[in-house]
Amino acid sequence: MENSIMSSWGLDPAYIIIGLSALVLILMILVIVCIVKMRKLYRRYDYFMRGKDAESLEDIILDQIDEIKKLRTEDRANKDSIRTLNRNQRASFQKFGVVRYNAFKGMGGTLSFACAMLDYTNTGFVLNSVHSREGCYLYMKPVDRGQTDVLLGNEEKEALEQALGYVEPKNN
């Protein structure tokens, strides 16, 4: 046996056989681990595809795409509606101030009032109702951006300041 290749390496063949056996054992363990993982993956795939064929899965995906398109259209319509509502809300009267007062001392109590109504830009009017024995008189004075060109009475100024938020309303 002196001529064999193994004798020229200077290794005992038993060590080589033990090393190769260990390598085979490690590879067998890796194969078993891969088989277990593949079975788990196959179970997940089977659960995912159970009762579905490729055609019905494609139909579901196409239905979802159509639903998304429909929702986007509705979203655009809703955003347009919200913009319209915001424009309308800004143009509507949203700030109010009311002051009740007695126009003529000793006659009839606090039946007269001044009312200011303003929109988002503080534009609107001040309405003054003066109650007397002869009748009720109503005056309207325009307000533009919180200012008026017409001279306002004390009660009208107070109602305008309430509407602008400068003073708190008094409980009359």
* Domains in the chain, number: 1
- Amino acid identity at 102: N
Query: Quick check: 107 and 83 in contact, CB under 8 A?
Result: no
The count of C-alpha atoms lying within 13 angstroms of the C-alpha of 148, restricted to the half-sphere facing its C-beta, is: 21
Task: Give the tokens for residue 54.
Answer: 């490729």
| pLDDT computed for residue 150 by the predictor | 86
123 domain residue, yes or no = yes
pLDDT tens-digit profile, the chain (172 residues)? 456 666 777 777 788 899 999 999 999 999 999 999 999 999 888 777 776 555 567 778 889 999 999 999 999 999 999 999 988 888 888 889 999 988 877 666 778 899 999 988 889 999 999 888 788 889 999 999 888 888 888 889 999 999 988 877 776 5
| pLDDT computed for residue 15 by the predictor | 85
Identify the domain containing residue 155 by its residue range. Answer: 95-164
149 domain residue, yes or no = yes
52 domain residue, yes or no = no
- What does pTM read for this prediction? 0.53
Query: Quick check: 121 and 144 in contact, CB under 8 A?
Result: no
| pLDDT computed for residue 1 by the predictor | 47
171 domain residue, yes or no = no
54 domain residue, yes or no = no
157 domain residue, yes or no = yes
169 domain residue, yes or no = no
| pLDDT computed for residue 77 by the predictor | 96
132 domain residue, yes or no = yes
Q: Smallest Cα–Cα separation from 167: which of 115, 97, 116? A: 97
| pLDDT computed for residue 172 by the predictor | 54
Query: Quick check: 148 and 126 in contact, CB under 8 A?
Result: yes
Query: Quick check: 96 and 115 in contact, CB under 8 A?
Result: yes
